[in-house]
Structures are given as structure tokens and as C-alpha cells.
Structure 1
């Protein structure tokens, strides 16, 4: 405890911690679910050993550089450890809980079958590193226990060991065949021909994603998480996500040529609030079915799986709008304000507007499974003025928002477009158009949502988490959230995770792991 306090004080004094307010849901992404009763009273391992095929002990380290050795009796729940061996198989030995309540998984695929303590685990032939996940359960698992089977067995604690195979050939599975494109939920992952492992982050309430892996050559065979995908599938596969780290293999084959990519998806880093201060975190009753497109009068919203509420402003002279709500699957039923929309109509319907606020409900349902998700679209009528120039009927549109050729502008008292400055939480560019996305203003970076509004707090942008202060300025360095957790933001503002910064270990959720 004393060492922890010294670390906290030294970080705060030496690095100048910025206090960051984060939602309560932000803090509990790794919290174990409470159960009324349990069969196993030992929540944590007292000792964790990794042995080679001859039974010899393999050293554990807290870092991938193998510089900080960890004693078998000092392992902690939620940590990831590193080891290196020339053995083809390894096994786990523990102290603490009864071995009947512990399972060892090779990888983090949802279908991975658990092995009992002491059983041999084969190291991967497709990668230089094999991730072992050790789970301690409250209820005794059955013989067919899968990685994803958590709820019925009460996971009490989790440990991970990344085992590097020293005999692995670096040229293996590195043939000269490549992916052309890799995406998660249509968000592009930047590829490099020199890299085969990629990381993507999603909010904690995103329970399922679609991985798309398009090969450079359509003749290549593509496998995602052990399932073959083809051009007819658009090279897509839906996968379920567990809290924390999820690892998926993507394999390309062309005759005797082979290349394996590893996609690591971290669920729950560090907030579940999406990319807008107005976003609504996914309610518990919402199921994992989604719209593919949502638009109002042809203007598309940027959809997020962690967001169900969207808003738009229209001029006072607009008394109706066309809503398009296209589902991810063509067999889903979609209703807009209770009226079903159909593929034959391009999933479009017209909605009449009253002055002021209009709430439009979009219901997506799988009639076969009963799964359902309800979106709320708020349309404000009368907050802006629509025009093709700065005057209408001889009246100057002064001190008003106007829409010109589809772009939002703001006119000053003289009716001229405001440029290169803020109007409330909105920024007008040199062209006079309202800015969206990243903005550099007076040396500080801001993030503006698809609605143009300046964002604050935690924001998930293109797979990375950023923290913006109360003025919307991006933060870097160490910050401390409202629940006392520390995070490190890189020089570009992106949150660091699963790494060591200045001797301080950060977990998969980005929070500093206090010993």
C-alpha cells in the first residue's frame, strides 16, 4: 500500500496530472459480475506457473522485453504476463482455488475450448506468440467449456500469458500475399505490408462487430476466425466480443502461399459513451441488431453501435422530411414511428414536422429471434434558416444559421458569413462552412461531431480513445479520472493501453495497474 501511495504522489507531482471527469460506466469495464451464490470461495490464484513439455519451469515477465521478472506467487488478476520457450507445448500449474474451477484457453476466440490445469497446450503454428487465458470460475465448468461461456459459471478472475515460441520461423506465414482492405464495422484499419498484427478499440457496450477482410486478389482463400469467407459474403464475418481483449486470426491462402494476420479488438477502452457528448449509451434491453444507414433528407448520420440517439436541425420552413432507415440485414423489420418501411421503397418514409422538437422512433426487429433495437431521432424545426443566398423576400438573414447548397453557415448582423471563428460550440471555416471532425485552432486540437458541435470528455474516434477538456481541447500526458484512475494519452492524444509508460504498467482498458 505504501509503495502504491508513493507511486501515485510521484506521478501527480512529476507529470502534472489533469483531472478528467468520466462517466461511472467508464470505470467498471473489468468489474466482475455479482452472483447470489458460488461454489468456489477462492477468487484469485495464489500462484501461477508455466511449464514446458518436460515439466521445467518457464520464467514469467511483466513486459514483452523480458526485462522485469515476475515471481509465480506475485501474479495479479487482470494482468498480462510474457514468456518465451522453445517447447512446442506448455502446461499450467496453480495454487489457490481447486483446479476443477480453473480452465486454460488457447487464444481468445469465443469458440476456444478450455483445458484443465496440467493439460498440455499446443503453441500456435500460425504465429510467433500464443495467448493463454486462465479463468477462475465460481461454478464448476463442464467438459465442453468455451471461452465465451461466462455468465452461467461466474468468472471470478482472469489471467493472461503471451508465450513466444523461440523456434517459430519469422518467414512462416509471411508469403508475398496481402489483404487489400481490413475493416471493423466499416471503419478502415490502416494496413502495412510490414505488419501482420493490428489493434482496434470499441466501447464496452459493443457486443458484436463485423470484420471485413478483402484480399488483393479475388483468387485468394480468406478465413476469418476459422470460417471461410468469400466475395459473395463481401468477405465479412460477424464475431461476438467479450469484455477486454478479443483476438482474431485472418488467414490468406493461395496454393502453397500463406499469410496470417492477427486482429486484436479491445472492448471497453475506457468509456461506453461513443463519440459525442450527446450520445446515449446502449440501454441494457437493446439487442445487438443495427441499422446500416440512417439519413434525413439524404444527409447520412455517422452511426455507432454504442449510440441510439441522433439529432438534426432543420429550417422553420421545412414542414416534412424524408427518413431513410436501412437495416444491416434485409430480413430485419424496420418501423419509423410505427409505420413499416420496405426495401422496395429504399427504406424511406416521409415524416411531418411540428415547430420545435420532433421525436422520431426507428424500431429495428428480427421477427425470428425477437431481437430488437430502438433508435431515437430528434429533429429540431425552426433553429436555422434555409436559403440559397443571404436574403429572402428582401429580408436579410442576420444573426442566423443558414443552409447554402447543403452547407451550414452563420450570418453576422450584416448578413455576411462568419469565417475563421467560433459561434458558440461551432466553428466556421475560411469558406464560411461549419467545420466537422478534427480542428486545429490556435495550436490546440478540438473534435467536432458530425453535427458540428464541439465535443468534450472521452471520445472514440476511428478506433482510438481521446480525452477533451471542458473547453474541448485535446489532452496529452497523464490524466486522472473522477474515480481515481490514471490514464496516459500519447502526444497525438490517443490513449495508450497494454504497455508500460515511465515504468507504470497500463492495462487493456488504458488504466494504470496499481500494484
Structure 2
């Protein structure tokens, strides 16, 4: 396989930036590996599986890598969905397999189809012992006839690692197809098809009886606990599931439509979340449809006619017409899950629902957080929003959202959202800002993430990829193959001192260096000098930055004057038309000074005085040279031997 030019570019960039200062918490660079990947799944401990081939000598196929080298899986050629906590589905044509990603073992003895069939059998054996399911169908229950038919539906969290729960439905007195049609025909009697959830061991929860929904009766919100109950003139006729959103370790979350008689609501949208059309009229007693998110415990609770119900069921209404913008926004986000638009998926983290989908024509990934509220103040439920009356609603509402540019995105086992875009792999945790975790080849536009330390990124229809483990090692190998260039410019030592290297890479010592228009002196050991320095018999002052000082400079309250060459001045100096006297130490003189037998007076500014001056109440006269007049008469005034006016 031809070596990629991007590798060469990466090496050149690394060499050019060798002297740059690395910011704290910088993202790790994942080096580029050769390999053509069509699809891939990342797993923990550096393990992954992919469709494709690594070199031109390899056949296109399915390969498992345990962190060291590839192993060809001869029985399968393509990948399916993630399953349970460590498996991925694989196919060879229509033949199904499961690959154990912890070992790389592939088998057709226990496929997803087999697990589903086994779960169904265990479920039937348990349900047939209950009056709720088997009494009305007798010996026919579970045999697949007109009555007593049981079907295992989709997996709750399909194509994700974690617990395996399935939806199920079971008829007791009518065909399943009839019951499903009732989702559109609005049934007004308690449903004869029961819906619930079961796991692979046959543990189940019947989710067709407990409701705990809240409905507005024109005055207040009324709680209805079970299907078939009537409270304060409102009857819950049926609950039919529309879509299961997902699960966490304790609960399953789903969307249901509830057929209710006697409620006082208005529909302000032209379509419900399952695309059934309604008008803007008041609901009537024949049966109205409301939509809820239900949070259903996986733990079995009490029994209804021998069948296990969930330990708890809580319901939260979703609606586009509640008078609350956040509730409407939640409704809009949930619609994406139901309609499967924009690749939308839902994940559950800490009891909140995160709806993630492609946005901005596929150029971004966006996540909206939906929280379940038990006391949300709403306008009189679905009525004229101008009314001031408020009611407490049990609703789902949007909390906030987050988005970023993305060529591809992935959700890890912890529910974090990852995105890849222009050489950056970024992560957002519970709607926090997207942070760059890794950098990689800018051509990569596909991504699968298990967790922070295990991911695989690749170029679609290309010949390059990277993983965390292989990419870090490749970056180290790339760095070691670079010939470190000679140091040029400033180099800060570990103790905080500075050296300077000229354009040839030679360290400057016992000499001056002009850097950016400022002069610096490097001592005999190459350390940048600061403070007063006597260089070849001349005093200079180097500022804390090392730059040579010029002009007036105050050092601990004493003024000095440094010439344009930086040399410290002494003696008489004419500066900007004024005369100053700098003592042999360089310190600027003030007050009376006897210089070579002649008295002069230097003002507080250091400037030499001339003419008449008053010092401490006594007048003196100073000639234009600054010399004090004495034993003489000036302008008719007599001056004594001390120069004082007599």
C-alpha cells in the first residue's frame, strides 16, 4: 500500500512545532495507521473489530484485533449491531453469528435470534401460569393461534452495549394486528392486548395496567392510576406504546398514547407524534388521545391476576400545546425519535433523556436534554394561553442543548456524545461543552467510541485509521524518527533561567544579542543577565526581562541616566537642554554640590539651577554656568563669602 502523504505532512508539522510551548491538558495526537476500513466497532482494553483489510496482500473480510494483531474471522464478512455487554452481530450472507469482543470467538450457536426465541419461550412459560394472560385463552395461550399469541418485539437499547430487554405483546381475546390497528382507531375499552418488557432470563414486567397519568378536568389535574379507572368523570380507556426510548440500570423509558374520556384539553397542533391528524376542537367523551413518557421500573412489584407489574410507573405528558415553550421543545425533540428523523437516538443518563441527532444538514451533531418534571406551572392546560390561571403539570420539558460541527458522531457506553471534525475528536458529557480529547488525520470522517480510552476513527472510502492505543504509539514512533532541529532563540531552563541560541544554533555566551530590537547580555555561562552589570569596565542596567535599559532609570529610589548605548552616565550631562550632575556612582545629584571647588545647586529634578534662587529662606545667585556667586555685587545686591545675600 502506498504511504500516505498525510504521514509526511504530520512529520514536518511536528518538526516545525518542536519549540512551541504545549498548553496544559493538550489533546493527545493519534498517529495515522494504514488500513482500509468499511465499518468498525470499538471495545474496551484496546480491542476492536472491523470490516476491510490492512494491506493490499490481505483479503477483504472481518478482522478482530485484541490490541496486538489482527485475526481473520473466516465465518463472517460483515458487521451487524452491538448486543449485550460484549457481543457484536456478524453475517455471512443471511447466516447470523455473534462475536465475543472480549475473546474474538465467533459462534452461530447462540445468536440474537436464538436469544430472542429463548426469551420468548421463557416468557410464555411464565405468562401461561397467570390468570391475566392465560385465563381467557386457556390451553391455546402461547401457541401462536388466534388467541394467546405472544410476540417478542425490538430490543429496548438496540445497537448498544448493556442490559438486554425486549418489548413484548400478548393477545388475550383478539389478534395482535387488530390491537395494533387500534393505535389509530382510538379504542375506548380496556385493551385486550397487553404490552410489557422481558429480559433474556424471562423476568418480565407487564406495562399495560399501571398508568399514573395526570389529566386536566377543567379545574385541576386528576391522577388516574390504572387502565380502566374512572376518576372525577375522567376514564382511562387504554394505553398503547408508540416507541421505547431507552433504559438505564433501573428503569425503561417509553412513549405511549393514552385514550381518555372526559378530559378538557385542546389540540393546537395538526398532528400528534404518531402522525394521526386532529383538529383544534375540545376533546369529547368518545375518547381523546394524550401522549406521555413513562418511566417504568425494571424491578417486579405487586401482581395483577398473578402477572407481575412494575414496582413503579411514572408518567409525564408530552404536548405541543401546553403554554410552555420548554415543554413544546421537548415534544419536538421526541418527535424525532418517533419519526426516526435525522438519525435521532435517545440515551438515558442520571434520569434525564438526551436526544441526539444530526443537525444543520448533517454538518453538526446536536443533543437536547429532556427532564421529567412533577410540578411544572402551565397555563390552563391547553386552553387560551392569555388566561392567568396556572396548573401543576407532570410533563417532560427541554432543559438545554449543545451542538458542534461533526463529520460523524458516536455515543459511548456511558452516554457521552463524541464528534469528529477536521482532525479533532471531541466529547461532551451530560451536555457540557465539547472538549477536544484527541487530534488525528483531518481526513477521518467515521467514528465509533466505547469509552475515553477506546475508540476507532477512519476515513470512509480511504486507506487510513487510528485507535487510541495504536495511534499514541504511532505518534511516539513518528516523533522518535524526527531529527531534532538545532535550538534557535530563547530556551527556558528548568530553574527559570534563560539561554539564547543564535540563527546557527550556537548558544550565545559572554556577549550581547539583539532580539526584536532590544539588547540582551548573556553571561559567560550563557545565562541571561539582569540588574547592574559591569561589562568591560562600563556599567549597564538589564531590566528584569533582560532588555538593556536606556534613558532615565530609577533603581530603589535613586535616579540614573543610561546613554543610548546603555552605558551608565557620570559627571555633567546635558539632557534635553538641561544640565545634570551624575555622581561617580552614577546616582543623580540634587541640592548643593561642590564640584572641583565650585558650588552648584541641583534642583529636586536634578536640573542645574541658574539665576536667583531661594534655598531655605536665603537668596543666592548662580551664574549661567551654574557656579555660585560670592564676595561680589550682582545687580546692586551684595553677596557674602558664603554666597548668601547680605
TM-score where L is the length of structure 2: 0.24
Larger CA Rg, structure 1 vs 2: 2
Q: Name the structure with the higher helix share.
A: 2
Indicate the structure whose relative CO is greater, using CA pairs within 8 Å and at least 6 residues apart: 1
